[in-house]
Structure 1
Amino acid sequence: MSRPPTFTPPPGVDARRLNTARGDFAALDARPAGQARGTVLLLPGFTGSKEDFIALLRPLADAGYRAVSVDGRGQYETPGPAEDESPYAQAELAQDALAQADALGGRPHLLGHSLGGQIARAATLRAPADTFASLTLMSSGPARISPSQQARAKMLTDALSVLSMAEAWAAMQAVDPPEDTDVDGDALRERWLRHSPAQLIATGKQLCAEPDRVTELAAIPLPKHVVSGERDDTWPIAWLDDMADRLRAHRTVITGAEHSPNTDRPAETAAALISFWDGISAGQ
């Protein structure tokens, strides 16, 4: 589970609702002081939320980019059905991302972390050619997650079919006690309880069955960036290296980070993202 440094937006980051043609989505919105050089749409991963990017938002805005992170349908502060899995099909979540991009206007840079990367990929494959300025896949691999993580995801989705969210949280804490963290455990629990169980079940299944669509994505003429930590047990680093080669994508490995460089090493991650987007603006 991702552990954002805080759930409280820092000064200059506004908590708001992003109104789209497919409904309203909870968002954190950081705007630069002057004219924006571009807009960035950030999609969180499995069990995550918009707060997973909270340490990136001000650095991105200070570099001239409007940065907007969202809770997807059924994640944390964006409501969704608790029992019906159909609204969480990948195609539906991709259409949500396209609606979010349309609501932001212009051609945003799209970034997805983990599950969010696979949703971002699906949105890019469905989008008209001029929808996005670039695509960044952060700790998000070419196909299904590793066998060990498939086992963990299946354990969770099986548990959610018979346990309440509160019971599932207690069971997870008993099996995998939380590591030392500055994050308030009550805040993590509150986020978990506000997720839709149907969303977690549906997306957990997707992570275990996602096909390899790298060749299809490589054919999209869009600047691409593959970012990861130097260790990752969800998609091994060798898989991410190979995917970047097949995509002919820019590749960044964040030293000292694991599956969530956005929370493990936010300053270094923000710098790498800014450098990539600045290079696109400069025509590099």
Structure 2
Amino acid sequence: MTVTPTHLTTSTGRFAALYAAPPVHYDTDSCIVLVSGFLGSKEDYLPLLPLLASAGHHAYAYDHRGQHESDGPDDPAAYSIQTLADDLRAVATSVRRRRPPQLVGHCMGGIIARAAVIDDPGAFSTLALLACPLNIPATVAATLSRGATLVRWLGLITLRPLIAQWARSEPGRSTLMEARLHTSKRAHLVGLARALAAATGDLTTPLTPTRVPVLVVHGVHDTYLASPAEFESLAQRFGRAAVCLPEAGHNVQIHQPQGTARALLDFWAEQPHATAPLAGFPAS
């Protein structure tokens, strides 16, 4: 399936996006919105988008305000979790089809998605959390706070050692990682890092009363924010087992796109009024 660059014009702004359309002979009229993580972008979903579209879904991934190819304000205060959640709800409204979209959030994107679901549970059919334990450990919060200060005063160049470390583990994506240092707004990284550093409370309990079905997917080697046992504990709060994918780390949708797509499609097929995915796709 072809992935097409596009822009989504919404009530809160205009966002750079990637769109994969389903085949004309198998269009379930279902929509998926994929939310990227901190220091990420819509391109982090490139391996996953065509798989979801091939199963009959209209699949969109977008850049947050100030992230990569989306413009945004120069004030760090404009990048709170609530503001980005408002943007997400506007995006979901702009692409909605017959039913509310299925929502997928990677890492920080899951925290943004959580806030959007709490604000308006009826706007989304389901929520899938990829490598997102709905928890910011104190050590990570402290790192984010220090990083925000460094980026504010010294610029995005201070992130180059971190990006170089990531690029060594995913050399095929090094050009994208480097490009995002130049295209993302400094205010986006400063403001969002501060917001995430402050989000150290209970992020799970307020989500449970929404009754929006939740799926947790993580890589077996991902211990960046949580252990496999902690991912499983979170999943059990929502009445189902976590999906732990082999040979995958934090970027589970990149390391295991087929397995991630299979987990998502099976999850959506369980929901009321769901249209079953094409038999045997994607391969397990």
Supply the distance in 1 between the matched residues of 2:169 and 2:207 (Cα, whole angstroms). 39
Identity of aligned residues (%): 30
Between the aligned partners of 2:153 and 2:215, the Cα distance in structure 1 is: 39
Cα distance in 1, alignment partners of residues 84 and 224 from structure 2: 25
User: What is the distance in 2 between the residues matched to 1:281 and 1:60?
Assistant: 19
Q: Partner of 2:175 in structure 1?
A: 186
Q: Cα gap change, 1:148/1:110 in structure 2, threshold over 3 Å: closer, same or farther?
A: same
d(CA) in 2 for partners of 1:122, 1:196? 22
* Corresponding residue of 2:83: 92
Distance 1:222 1:45 in 2: 21
Q: TM-score scaled by structure 2? A: 0.87
Report what 2:150 is aligned to: 159
Q: 1:28 aligns with which of 18, 22, 26?
A: 18
Residue matched to 1:219: 209
Residue in 2 that maps onto 1:232: 223
Secondary structure, in 3 states, of the residue corresponding to 1:183?
Answer: helix
| Equivalent position of 1:62 in the other structure | 54
Following superposition, the deviation at residue 282 of structure 1 comes to 5.9
Matched, 1:196 2:185: yes
What is the RMSD of the two structures over their aligned residues, measured on CA atoms? 2.1
Alpha-carbon deviation of 1:171? Answer: 4.7
| TM-aligned CA deviation for residue 180 of structure 1 | 4.8
Q: Which residue of the other structure, out of 207, 210, 215, is the alignment partner of 2:196?
A: 207
The Cα shift of 1:172 comes to: 3.9
1:137 aligned residue:
129
Q: Where in structure 2 are there 5+ consecutive unaligned residues?
A: 277-284
**AA at the equivalent of 1:117:** G
* Compared CA separation, residues 123 and 68, structure 1 to 2 (3 A): same
Amino acid at match of 1:200: L
Name the CA shift for 1:249/1:190 in 2 (closer, same or farther; >3 Å): same
- What is the CA distance between 1:124 and its match in structure 2? 0.2
Shift, 1:232, TM fit? 2.0
Alignment-mate amino acid for residue 208 of structure 1: A
Contact residue 218 and residue 250 of structure 2 kept, 8 A = yes
Tell me which residue corresponds to 2:279. none
Match among 250, 257, 260 for residue 251 of structure 2? 260
1:273-284 to structure 2, matched below 5 A, reads 273-281=264-272
What SS is found at the alignment partner of 1:190?
helix
Aligned 8 A contact 2:213 2:238 in 1: no
Q: Deviations 1:181-216 (Å, cap 9, x if unpaired)?
A: 342533321112111112112221232221213122
Alignment partner of 1:115 is 2:108: yes
Deviations along 1:263-284, one digit per CA (max 9) or x if unpaired, are 1111111111111112225669
1:124 equivalent in alignment to 2:113:
no
Q: What is the rounded CA distance, in whole Å, between the counterparts of 2:271 and 2:102 in structure 1?
A: 10
Deviation beyond 6 Å, 4+ runs, structure 1 = none
TM-score of the two chains, using structure 1 as the length reference: 0.87
Change (3 A) 1:151 1:179: farther
Check the 8 A contact 1:98/1:123 in 2, yes or no.
yes
Q: Quote the Cα distance in structure 2 between the aligned partners of 1:282 and 1:31.
A: 21
- Flag the 1:51–1:33 CA change in 2: closer, same or farther, 3 A: same
Number of residue pairs matched by the alignment: 269
Tell me the alpha carbon deviations over residues 146-205 of structure 1, each in whole angstroms, 9 at most, x when there is no partner: 34433432342221022122x32445467x473153425333211121111121122212
